[in-house]
C-alpha cells in the first residue's frame, strides 16, 4: 500500500487537498468502485506509482479552504472516491462524486472536476510551486525577435536542468506583430500596413493568435517550468492554474479579473489579455501571456486582419471594443503594474531577481540568425 498527497489551487477559487492510499489487494470498496474500475487512463504527464497498475484508491480524505453545503456532503465525496481505479480520469472521478452528492449540494470555490485534478496530480507525481526555487528576470529592452528566441532558449535550459524555474517579464525596443506558430501570415497580417507601421513580424513557438504589441502599451511575461508542475492537468486546466497569480495581482489593483477558457484573462469591462503554451520534449513548459496596458486600436486593426467570424465569436462588432486596457481600469503606470505582479508572484512562490546569462543571450542571438529571422520560419505557414 502506498500513500499519496495532492493539491490543486482552483483558478480564482480555493485550494483542494487530497490524501489517500493505493492498495493492490482488491479489497477496497466504495460507491465508485464499479464506476471506473475498468477505465482507461486519461492522464497528462508521466507515471507516478499506482497510475495504471490495477490499484484502487482507499482511505480517501478531501480537505481545503473551500465551502461545502451540506456538511455531510464531505463524507459522501470521500466514500465516492474510495474504490475508484487509479486509472480513473478526471471526468470519471468527477462523475462518481456528482452521483454521490445530495440534490441541492453547493460546492463553493471548487468543483468535482477540481477534486479529480487533485487526485490525478497526486497519482502522477505532480509538483507544487513551492517545490522549486524560482528566479525572476526583468531585463532591459531588446528586439521582439530576441524575446521570442529567449523564450525557447530559457525553456530548453529549464528542461535540461541548466536553469531553475523562471518568471521573465519582456521588455522590447520596437513595435511588433507576433503570430502563433500555426497561423498563416497572409490571413493574419496586412503586410503593406505592417511595412508602413515599421513593426517587426515575429513568429513564436507557441500556438494561439496574433498580437499587435507596442512597448509602452503591452505587458508580456513568460513562465519556464518543469512539466511536473502541471502534471495531471488538461491543457485547459493548466492555463488557468499557471495564471492564477496574475488574477490575484490584477484584483489587488481593483480589477475584477477572471479567466475565460481556453486562454483569455478578462474583466467585466472587456478582455485584458491572452496566454499561449508550448511543451518541449525535454519536459519543460513555456507559458507566456500578453496583457494590454493601453491600446492603439486604429493601428492594430490596420495591421491585423481581424475577421468578422473572430469578432462575432467574441460578441463584439469592432476590434477596439474587444480589449479594455489596464491603464483605463487602474490609472496606474505600466511600471507600477509590473512591479505589483512581481510582488504578488514573490509573495506566493518566492523568487530571487536574476539575470539572463551571457551564454543564454548568445544562444538566443544564434536562434534569431538561424531560425526566427528566416523566411523559412516566419512563413512556415504562408
Which of 198-202, 224-228, 235-239, 372-376 has the least mean pLDDT?
A: 235-239
Share of the chain above pLDDT 70, in %: 88
DSSP SS3 for 117: helix
Residues 111 and 23 placed together within one structural domain of the fold: yes
Contact between residue 70 and residue 22 where contact means Cβ atoms under 8 Å apart: no
* The predicted structure's pLDDT at residue 315: 47
- What average pLDDT does the structure give for the chain? 89
Where residue 227 falls among pLDDT bands split at 50, 70, 90?
A: very high
Residues 13 and 38 placed together within one structural domain of the fold: yes
Residues 68 and 143 placed together within one structural domain of the fold: no
Which DSSP string do the residues of 203-248 spell out, in sequence order?
E-SS-S--EEE-TTTEEEEEEEEEGGGGTT--HHHHHHHHTHHHHH
Could you read off the pLDDT of 107-142 as tens digits, one per residue? 999 999 999 999 999 999 899 999 999 999 999 999
Where residue 53 falls among pLDDT bands split at 50, 70, 90?
A: low
User: Is pLDDT above 60 for 30?
Assistant: no
Burial of residue 196 (number of CB atoms within 10 Å: 0-12, 13-18, 19+) = exposed
Reduce the secondary structure of 309-372 to three states and give it as a string.
HHHHHCCCCCHHHCECCHHHHHCCCHHHHHHHHHHHHHHHHCCEEECCCHHHHHHHHHHHHHHH
Where residue 322 falls among pLDDT bands split at 50, 70, 90?
A: low
Residues 169 and 33 placed together within one structural domain of the fold: no
The pTM (predicted TM-score) of the whole model is 0.86
Residues 176 and 35 placed together within one structural domain of the fold: no
Question: Rounded CA gap, 288 and 165, in Å?
Answer: 13
* The predicted structure's pLDDT at residue 70: 96
Could you read off the pLDDT of 149-185 as tens digits, one per residue? 999 999 999 999 999 999 999 999 999 999 999 999 9
Question: Rounded CA gap, 288 and 361, in Å?
Answer: 19
Of the CA atoms within 13 Å of residue 369, those in its CB half-sphere come to 6
Residues 37 and 176 placed together within one structural domain of the fold: no
Burial of residue 184 (number of CB atoms within 10 Å: 0-12, 13-18, 19+) = middle
Of the two residues 42 and 194, the one the predictor is more confident about is 194
Is the four-CA dihedral 12, 171, 293, 174 of positive or negative sign?
A: negative
Residues 104 and 178 placed together within one structural domain of the fold: no
Helix axes 112-123, 90-100, angle to 10 degrees: 130
Q: In this structure, how many other beta carbons lie within 10 angstroms of the beta carbon of residue 312?
A: 10
Where residue 26 falls among pLDDT bands split at 50, 70, 90?
A: low
User: Is pLDDT above 60 for 3?
Assistant: yes
Residues 283 and 325 placed together within one structural domain of the fold: yes
Where residue 297 falls among pLDDT bands split at 50, 70, 90?
A: confident
Question: Rounded CA gap, 87 and 1, in Å?
Answer: 16
* The predicted structure's pLDDT at residue 235: 86
Where residue 309 falls among pLDDT bands split at 50, 70, 90?
A: very low
Where residue 323 falls among pLDDT bands split at 50, 70, 90?
A: confident
User: Is pLDDT above 80 for 313?
Assistant: no
Cell of 292: 494590454
Residues 174 and 95 placed together within one structural domain of the fold: no
DSSP SS3 for 99: helix
Question: Rounded CA gap, 169 and 334, in Å?
Answer: 12
User: Is pLDDT above 80 for 146?
Assistant: yes
Domain end call among 95, 123, 151 = 123
Residues 150 and 277 placed together within one structural domain of the fold: yes
CATH code of the domain covering residue 184: 3.30.930.10
User: Is pLDDT above 70 for 52?
Assistant: no
Residues 224 and 210 placed together within one structural domain of the fold: yes
DSSP SS3 for 78: helix
Backbone angles phi, psi at 155, to 5 degrees: -65, -45
Residues 6+ positions from 23 with CB-CB distance below 8 Å: 1, 55, 56, 58
Residues 8 and 42 placed together within one structural domain of the fold: yes
Structurally, the chain folds into a number of domains equal to 2
Q: In this structure, how many other beta carbons lie within 10 angstroms of the beta carbon of residue 101?
A: 17
How does DSSP classify residue 47?
P
Where residue 15 falls among pLDDT bands split at 50, 70, 90?
A: very high
Is the four-CA dihedral 117, 262, 106, 38 of positive or negative sign?
A: negative
Contact between residue 278 and residue 242 where contact means Cβ atoms under 8 Å apart: no
The helix or strand, by DSSP H or E, that contains position 16, with its residue range, turns out to be strand 15-23
User: Is pLDDT above 60 for 49?
Assistant: no
Cell of 91: 471526468
Could you read off the pLDDT of 327-354 as tens digits, one per residue? 999 999 999 999 999 999 999 999 999 9
Give the residue numbers spanning the domain of 55: 2-123
Amino acid at each position: 500500500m502506498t500513500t499519496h498527497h495532492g493539491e490543486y489551487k482552483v483558478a480564482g477559487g480555493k485550494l483542494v487537498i487530497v490524501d489517500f492510499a493505493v492498495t493492490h489487494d482488491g479489497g477496497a470498496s466504495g460507491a465508485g468502485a464499479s464506476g471506473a474500475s475498468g477505465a482507461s487512463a486519461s492522464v497528462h504527464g508521466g507515471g507516478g506509482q499506482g497510475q495504471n497498475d490495477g490499484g484502487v484508491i482507499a482511505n480517501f480524505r478531501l480537505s481545503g479552504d473551500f465551502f461545502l453545503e451540506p456538511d455531510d456532503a464531505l463524507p459522501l465525496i470521500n466514500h465516492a472516491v474510495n474504490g475508484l481505479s487509479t486509472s480513473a480520469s478526471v471526468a470519471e472521478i468527477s462523475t462518481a462524486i456528482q452521483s454521490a452528492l445530495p440534490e441541492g449540494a453547493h460546492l463553493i470555490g471548487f468543483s468535482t472536476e477540481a477534486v479529480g485534478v487533485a487526485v490525478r496530480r497526486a497519482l502522477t507525481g505532480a509538483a507544487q510551486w513551492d517545490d522549486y526555487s524560482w528566479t525572476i528576470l526583468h531585463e532591459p529592452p531588446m528586439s521582439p525577435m530576441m524575446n521570442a528566441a529567449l523564450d525557447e532558449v530559457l525553456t530548453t535550459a529549464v528542461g535540461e536542468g541548466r536553469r531553475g524555474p523562471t518568471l521573465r517579464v519582456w521588455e522590447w525596443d520596437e513595435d511588433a506583430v507576433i503570430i502563433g506558430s500555426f497561423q498563416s501570415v497572409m490571413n493574419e497580417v496586412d503586410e503593406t500596413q505592417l511595412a508602413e507601421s515599421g513593426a517587426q513580424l515575429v513568429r513564436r513557438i507557441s500556438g494561439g493568435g496574433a498580437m499587435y504589441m507596442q512597448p509602452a502599451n503591452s505587458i508580456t511575461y513568460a513562465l519556464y517550468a518543469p512539466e511536473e508542475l502541471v502534471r495531471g492537468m488538461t491543457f485547459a486546466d493548466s492555463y488557468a492554474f499557471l495564471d492564477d497569480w496574475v488574477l490575484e495581482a490584477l484584483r489587488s489593483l481593483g480589477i475584477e479579473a477572471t479567466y475565460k477558457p481556453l486562454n483569455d484573462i478578462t474583466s467585466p469591462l472587456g478582455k485584458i489579455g491572452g496566454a499561449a503554451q508550448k511543451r518541449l520534449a525535454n519536459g519543460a513548459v513555456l507559458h507566456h501571456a500578453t496583457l494590454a496596458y493601453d491600446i492603439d486600436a486604429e493601428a492594430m486593426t490596420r495591421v491585423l486582419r481581424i475577421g468578422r467570424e473572430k469578432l462575432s465569436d467574441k460578441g463584439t462588432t469592432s476590434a477596439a471594443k474587444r480589449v479594455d486596457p489596464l491603464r483605463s481600469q487602474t490609472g496606474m503606470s505600466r511600471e507600477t503594474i509590473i512591479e505589483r505582479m512581481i510582488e504578488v508572484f514573490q509573495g506566493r512562490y518566492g523568487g530571487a531577481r536574476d539575470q539572463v546569462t551571457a551564454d543564454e543571450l548568445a544562444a538566443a542571438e544564434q536562434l534569431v540568425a538561424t531560425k526566427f529571422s528566416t523566411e523559412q520560419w516566419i512563413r512556415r505557414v504562408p
